[in-house]
Amino acid sequence: MSYFLDPVFINNFCRPCLSLCWQARADHDHRSEKQICVTHQEAKGLFCEADQTLFRGLCSERPGHAAHSHSPIHTAAEKKVMITAEYQRIHILLQEEEQPHLEGLKKERERLKAIYRELTGMCHKLDTELLQGLENVLETTDLAEMQKCQPMNPELPSWPVSEFLHMLNNFSVNNVLSQTTTVHHAILNDASVISEDDHPGVSRQPRGSGGSCVVARGAQAFTAGRHYWELDMRQSSSWILGVCKSILTSDTSISTGAEEAFFLFSTKVNSQYILSTTFPPLVQFVKRPLGKIGVFLDDDNGTVSFCEVFRNSLIYSFLPLLFSSPLIPFLCLKFP
């Protein structure tokens, strides 16, 4: 009986709650380990803007980080919050600008429906009734002319994004174009360029007839990493720039393959400038770039982007794609 002198109290535990407790503790320990430098066993206090990683102050002198731009963790966090807020602000402005246009289109739709119903009903009336109501129809037509919708400008506004080019300059490379070839009477295949017929208000022009092109290609092919370069396009109104898998040139033609050819086209027709992109062919309704254009190639995420340096804004960014082969920079300037 001496065994029952000291009773033991057994606590009851919920098995799922107990499992979640251990899992939460493991996640907390794992996050704490990420904040500690493995080499110095101290907390990481700097953020590398090029590699997007955390490290300790003593590690900044290592070859892997010495040439990169560094900032304290709290500064990098504040910059991220600022950029996110900027994007949200632009999104709200676009929504506010879109709403009046949608309401105007809705009213115009209802007005046209009413006119259609009225005209349909008049088709079944007698000739005498039709003549009697002719005056009302003319008044309605005059009112429709007075309330005709004003032509809308399809050109989209360019919104500057803070710190956009500053971030891209971390991946800047120089002298990407080295091989230059002059091609006479250049011909572009239909799969890789927007024609004049794809843009409203532009008359048909023979494509590829006459003129010469100066083509520059990069000697280095990029297979990994992030690369950014800028080109001054003020001296030419018709040009092609971007990156591609391969470019075939001869003395009379240029063949640009549509597969993995990421190009931005500028064409001047009847004093109008048309910007378009390939893969797939799309017209870009943005203002004509002024001065330099930046090209950003992100091999790691499979994206190619074009931006305007003067307005500090994005022109177009291709959807992420897994590149199957190295890409080289490409530039073509067309002369009359």
Q: Identify the CATH homologous superfamily for domain 164-199+207-335.
A: SPRY domain (2.60.120.920)
| CA–CA distance, 182 with 184 (Å, rounded to integer) | 7
Q: Kindly report, residue by residue over 216-225, the tens digit of the pLDDT.
A: 888 788 999 9
CATH match for 30-68 among 3.30.428.10, 3.30.110.30, 3.30.1360.200, 3.30.160.60: 3.30.160.60
| CA–CA distance, 245 with 324 (Å, rounded to integer) | 9
Query: Is pLDDT at 158 greater than 50 in this prediction?
Result: yes
Q: Kindly report, residue by residue over 106-142, the tens digit of the pLDDT.
A: 999 999 999 988 888 777 666 666 666 666 666 666 5
Scored b (16 or more CB within 10 A) or e, 124-151 reads eeeeeeeeeeeeeeeebeeeeeeeeeee
Q: What is the pLDDT of residue 229?
A: 92
Q: Read off the pLDDT band of 201 (50, 70, 90).
A: very low
Q: What is the pLDDT of residue 227?
A: 92
Q: Kindly report, residue by residue over 218-267, the tens digit of the pLDDT.
A: 878 899 999 999 999 888 888 999 998 866 555 555 655 557 789 999 98
The rounded mean pLDDT for the chain is: 72
Q: What is the mean pLDDT of residues 7-19?
A: 62
| Percent of the chain topping pLDDT 90 | 12
Instruction: Report which of 67, 38, 79 is spatially closest to residue 55, judged by C-alpha positions.
Output: 38
Q: What is the mean pLDDT of residues 288-313?
A: 90
Q: Read off the pLDDT band of 196 (50, 70, 90).
A: very low
Query: Is pLDDT at 193 greater than 90 in this prediction?
Result: no
* Residue whose structure tokens are 């632009």: 90
Q: What is the mean pLDDT of residues 39-51?
A: 61
- Integer angstrom CA distances of residue 245 from 24, 263, 301, 323: 47, 11, 17, 9
Residue boundaries of the structural domains of the chain: 30-68, 81-146, 164-199+207-335
